């Protein structure tokens, strides 16, 4: 079972307590009515689905109930780090530090 660190509880918790909530850092367009269908489709459905480092949202549903962001390797399933929702995407150097 994966252990995931919740940045709010500041503790390692089993995967059971969490739910996955899709890719992170997807900003909702400020004025959706100005978008054409294609752009709206892209916003709603098109995701990066990378092989390797993935920025994603998780929710500590059966804990503090908060959404937060995590960096996970989609190949090894290893979490590099987790950080609070609303914080900017960590830089490559920060990720390197977290991995080591």
| Positive or negative torsion for Cα 17, 21, 27, 30 | negative
87 binds another protein (CB under 8 A): no
Only one of the segments 48-56, 60-68, 74-82, 86-94 lies at the binding site for another protein (rule: CB under 8 A); that segment is 60-68
CB of 59 to another protein, least distance (A): 12
Strands 67-73 and 53-59: antiparallel
| Positive or negative torsion for Cα 8, 12, 18, 21 | positive
The interface with another protein within residues 10-29 (CB under 8 A) comprises 10-14, 16-17
Question: What are the distances in angstroms from CA 93 to CA 36, 47, 58, 83, 97?
Answer: 37, 24, 23, 15, 6
Considering the complex, state which of residue 55 and residue 68 has its C-beta at the smaller distance from another protein: 68
Q: Residues 5, 43, 57, 66: which binds another protein (CB under 8 A)?
A: 66
CB of 65 to another protein, least distance (A): 5
Residues forming the site for another protein (CB under 8 A): 1, 3, 8-14, 16-17, 62-66
């Amino acid at each position: 079972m994966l252990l995931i660190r919740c940045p709010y509880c500041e503790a390692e918790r089993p995967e059971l307590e969490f739910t996955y909530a899709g890719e992170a850092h997807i900003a909702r367009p400020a004025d959706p009515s100005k978008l054409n269908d294609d752009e709206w489709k892209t916003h709603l459905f098109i995701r990066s689905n990378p092989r390797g480092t993935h920025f994603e949202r998780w929710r500590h549903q059966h804990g503090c109930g908060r959404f937060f962001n995590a960096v996970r390797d989609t190949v090894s399933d290893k979490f590099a780090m987790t950080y609070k929702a609303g914080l900017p995407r960590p830089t490559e150097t920060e990720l390197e530090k977290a991995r080591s």
